[in-house]
Structure 1
Amino acid sequence: MSVSGKDLFFFDRMLTPSIITVVYWLLLLSVLVGGIGMMFGQSFFAGLGIIVFGTLGVRIWCELLIVLFKIHQNLKAIADKP
């Protein structure tokens, strides 16, 4: 799906849902790097906990953002009905 100038400047189409996927992968990478750094630097189990719970937290946070945009999409469809 391409974004035209009209969609971008007048908010006819949401740009953020497509960005959330990139943010999700970047956050997963940072959780993994932070967890591995913690495993070898301080405590193995604390690093493992960061990896497990950080991954879950990132997934839940991104899913909640997607749900908000799906709600917006459905409300817009209801409002546009004749």
Structure 2
Amino acid sequence: MGGFSFGDLFQFEKMVAPAVLKVVYWIGLIGIALYLLFALGLAVTTMGYSPLTGLGMIVGSVIGACFGVLMWRIIIEVYMVLFGIHQRLGEVRDALKGGTTDTPAE
């Protein structure tokens, strides 16, 4: 596939989502990092009232952020695979254009 131009936004010959998904992935990682920083700040504040609860919040926040990064990566990869399948099916369609597309009689 060649480059992407502004005119491609009005035609559905080229997919925009694979390029956009990379940006969305990084935005999601930034969101997870912000969540972790907020949760750690809240945990440190809580440690002033209850040290054990604050420590539990720190551990839970780090584990939650690691799980969030893993799940976010899996979600983005699933979408990338779906768009890859779409691209491959388009290539198969283009390769078969010269051949017969008739279905066999039953």
Q: CA deviation at 1:50?
A: 1.9
1:79 aligns with 2:93: yes
Percent of matched pairs sharing the same residue: 32
Q: Are residues 1:67 and 2:81 paired? A: yes
Q: Which of 29, 39, 64 is 1:50 aligned to?
A: 64
* Residues paired across the two proteins, number: 81
Q: What is the CA distance between 1:9 and its match in structure 2?
A: 1.3
Q: Which amino acid aligns with 2:91?
A: A
The superposition leaves residues 21-53 of structure 1 with CA deviations (integer Å, 9 ceiling, x where unpaired) of 110000001101101211231310111012200
RMSD over aligned Cα atoms = 1.2
**Runs of 5+ unmatched residues, structure 2:** 44-56, 99-106
**Contact 1:31 1:55 survives alignment (8 Å):** yes
Larger radius of gyration: 2
Look up the match of 1:2: 4
- Give, as a single letter, the amino acid of the residue that structure 2 aligns with 1:2: F
| Secondary structure class of the residue paired with 2:14 | coil
Long gaps (5+) in structure 1: none
